[in-house]
Structure 1
Amino acid sequence: MSYATEKLNEEKVFKDPVHRYVHVRDRVIWDLIGTKEFQRLRRIRQLGTTYLTFHGAEHSRLNHSLGVYEIVRRIIDDGFEGRPEWDSNERLLCLCAALLHDLGHGPFSHSFEKVFHLDHEDFTRAIILGDTEVNAVLRNVKEEFPKHVAEVIAKTYKNKMVVSLISSQIDADRMDYLQRDAYFTGVSYGHFDMERILRVMRPREDQVVIKSSGMHAVEDYIMSRYQMYWQVYFHPVTRSAEVILTKILHRAKQLHEEFYNFKHQPIHFYSIFEDELTLQDYLKLDESIIHYYFQAWEEEDDPILSDLCRRFMNRNLFKYVEFNPTTQMKDLMELNNLFKKAGLDPEYYLVVDSSSDLPYDFYRPGEEEERLPIHLLMPTGEVRELSRESEIVDAISGKRRTDHKLYFPLDLLQDVSTKKTIKRKILEILGI
């Protein structure tokens, strides 16, 4: 028996709050779970700063990765196996890509990436292809196997059906994180009938399609996603924490560039600050490391870094007001000047934050980004794009919703011991 087909002596199971159990029989999957690069995901939260809004949101990227693996395993083993359109030789590749799809996430994921212009998918591929324990396991399958896994994650793999299981508008990734994030945040929005969707998924040519009888379950899934984005992922309090987190990292980098003498030297950040980040350096970063520095930097002599770190660690977040950058740019310019007069650096204490989401769309010729739409399999055998059949989906298809907030430290503005007139003027413009 080859390593690629080797099974464990008995099935291993992980108890899971969303899927009840995660089942592992393949030796390759079991070995990948045991690698240090995969175990690192225990130390990175799935939802970044959301735990400061929803106190239950402490679940990790490892939780989610196991969940995505389990959904793909069920789709393939329970739904696709034996169907002529499905190539069973792709099974292990699908399972490995599902398990490893988030391997390159860093601490506080998207906020961290934004500051330092990083991309977690680049690091995912680097881990899979580099000198790592994960790569060693994958190479034991076949020498070119790591390359194929990386291609699935990069969406360049030749079999587009394999890619669509991991990355499309109805994929295992989204089906897991919506339910998992709803469970741990305690909200009801992210729940949908996944069992029904799994039952009506079918392999067809180069994509996964949904039997038309399951259309209403898919509508429910899309609306669940829409609600989760605006009620959880784009929650204004979570965004306030992200704003402060982002500004801490910006400030630390700026101080480093100005040769500031840190009391607690940012050793883990040197290669990032100097644009010389190696994979080995990146893998040493997790959220416990970031928290250590933020706690240490509360004692720094730089008043901005110290204040921002104290705010983040103690959840003394910025307040916010609705803001329209199209019509209120004059107000923003005036506020910038007033903040400077009040002794508050607007670069760090006056921040416009925008969130935007497109709940569903389909490919339109001439657009740069090709979106994989959801297709329904009609009783006649014809395949139809979802929004052509669903009035609900058609109503929201292609409609981007954007929200803008202006964040600021209300406590410092209400402290009128100094510059009382200026601060009062700021509050008037903010409408407070």
Structure 2
Amino acid sequence: MKPSNKLKILNDPIYGFITIPNSIIFDLIEHKYFQRLRRISQMGMSYLVYPGAHHTRFHHAIGCMHLMQKAVQVLRFKGVAISDEEEKALYIAILLHDIGHGPFSHAMEHSIVSGVSHEEISLLFMEELNTEFNDDLTLAIQIFKGDYHRKFMLQLISSQIDMDRADYLKRDSFYTGVSEGNINSERLITMLNVKDNELVVEDKGIYSVEKFLDARRLMYWQVYLHKTSLVAEQLLIRVLKRAKELVKKGVALEASKPLTFFLENEITLDEFNGNCLETFAKLDDYDIVSAMKNWQYHEDFVLKNLCEMIINRHLLKIKVKKKPITEAVFQKHMSDLKGRHNISDADANYFVFTGQVSNLAYSRKKQNINILNKNGKVVDIVKASDQLSLKALSKPVTKYYICYPKDQL
């Protein structure tokens, strides 16, 4: 049998041609666990605000791998020793960093599986794949967990200026059409270096970092925390919560086998065994959308209306304020809804609720973004920058919201 060519080239709308660097990366991309990412949206319910935002976690993971190739090339050029084994591990780790995302990405995190983050599920997938691939992922897993002695390698995957953020800001900006998020990721990568085993940015890249942090702040307010996306994601979480509640009471709900499994069982990290992981790997956006299309005709008042709202984009009204929502305002909307439909407080809470969102473009408490001066001194970006707004960007901004039905409910 003729061996297949595994050094393929993909055409990406952001970066142009992306080369698959080796056969193990090709085999991982071909694997059913990774192919599932084609059916997981990158931006959850944001397509209800930005019609072009239909790109997937698959796009994003491939883009991250491409940027990691650029980063390895740049660091090697600057004299940073990276072995072939380390290079391969970096590509594997960044390719699989999001493989544990559930349906609609962040929207349903902690909902499908109780209190388990997508990073923890990603690690479970990587360990399962490591068994399948004869321990070829061992070093990648060490780097991903932060157990490898070369700290900068983890920082390339997960930090405040990693390949993940460098791709999603540029990619999400492109697909939403929000130009404020369009960072020059290749310029940023060209400015990277390593000092004392830590990732740093050379001082001539300081303005690129400033633009990167500013773009992140704007993308969060304009896109990720957009009020319509926010209310849609809250409705989606409540759909699953209500479905689980009904199933516990013995109500039969039409759903796919993987979704039915997670509706019927409360799965924690300790219970996430091989069979459970295999079931999770069959779950994607299509299961949720298909279920909601059926459930919008269900006799349960809450489930029916929640699903109909998402399917037909008849969302709840949302008001965002700088101060917490008062109890009086909340109770007024509760009374209005209960009076119109004669429902209980518990049912009304699915449609009237408050919450808060925070935006922190740069955290000085986490792994800092360090600038490498020409004299070899390393300084935090906030101290190195002459831009006053960076100090403001390192302080969290919190906004408060209330959601309640429009007249048609």
TM-score by length of 2: 0.90
Could you list the runs of 5+ residues in structure 2 that have no partner in the other structure? none
Q: How many pairs align?
A: 390
Q: CA deviation at 1:21?
A: 1.6
Could you list the runs of 5+ residues in structure 1 that have no partner in the other structure? 1-7, 364-370, 414-432
Does 1:268 find its partner at 2:295? no
Partner of 1:306: 304
Q: CA deviation at 1:120?
A: 0.8
Cα contact 1:212–1:377 (8 A) shared by 2: yes
Distance in 2 (CA, whole Å) between partners of 1:109 and 1:268 is: 17
Q: CA deviation at 1:269?
A: 3.1
Partner of 1:243: 234
Mapping 1:7-26, distance limit 5 Å: 11-26=7-22
Q: CA deviation at 1:204?
A: 2.2
Question: CA, structure 1 residues 63+251, in 2 after alignment: closer, same or farther (shift >3 Å)?
Answer: same
Structure 1 consecutive aligned stretches of length 4 or more whose deviation exceeds 4 Å: 8-11
The correspondence for 2:215, drawn from 224, 235, 253, is 224
Q: CA deviation at 1:157?
A: 3.1
Q: CA deviation at 1:266?
A: 6.0
Partner of 1:97: 93
Question: CA, structure 1 residues 301+267, in 2 after alignment: closer, same or farther (shift >3 Å)?
Answer: farther
Distance in 1 (CA, whole Å) between partners of 2:392 and 2:161 is: 16
Q: CA deviation at 1:394?
A: 3.8
Q: CA deviation at 1:29?
A: 1.1
Partner of 1:339: 337
> What letter matches 2:19 in structure 1?
H
> What letter matches 1:357 in structure 2?
N
Cα contact 1:161–1:205 (8 A) shared by 2: no
Does 1:86 find its partner at 2:71? no
Cα contact 2:45–2:229 (8 A) shared by 1: yes
Partner of 2:408: 412
Distance in 1 (CA, whole Å) between partners of 2:149 and 2:213 is: 28
Distance in 2 (CA, whole Å) between partners of 1:187 and 1:83 is: 34
Partner of 1:418: none
CA displacement 1:32-78 (0-9 Å, x = unmatched): 1111111110000100100111000000000000000000101102x
**CA RMSD between the two structures:** 2.1
Does 1:46 find its partner at 2:70? no
User: Percent of pairs identical after alignment?
Assistant: 30
Distance in 2 (CA, whole Å) between partners of 1:120 and 1:295 is: 26
Mapping 1:198-213, distance limit 5 Å: 198-213=189-204
Distance in 2 (CA, whole Å) between partners of 1:312 and 1:341 is: 24
Cα contact 1:352–1:404 (8 A) shared by 2: yes
Partner of 2:384: 389
Structure of larger gyration radius: 1
> What letter matches 1:149 in structure 2?
A
Which stretch of structure 1 is more off in the superposition, 335-344 or 177-186? Answer: 335-344
The correspondence for 1:374, drawn from 345, 356, 369, is 369
Question: CA, structure 1 residues 322+82, in 2 after alignment: closer, same or farther (shift >3 Å)?
Answer: closer
Mapping 1:26-425, distance limit 5 Å: 26-77=22-73, 79-88=74-83, 89-115=85-111, 116-130=114-128, 132=129, 135-137=131-133, 139=134, 143=135, 145-262=136-253, 264-265=254-255, 267-273=257-263, 274-276=265-267, 278-323=276-321, 326=324, 328-343=326-341, 344=343, 345-363=347-365, 371-392=366-387, 394-412=390-408
> What letter matches 2:80 in structure 1?
E
Cα contact 1:86–1:203 (8 A) shared by 2: no
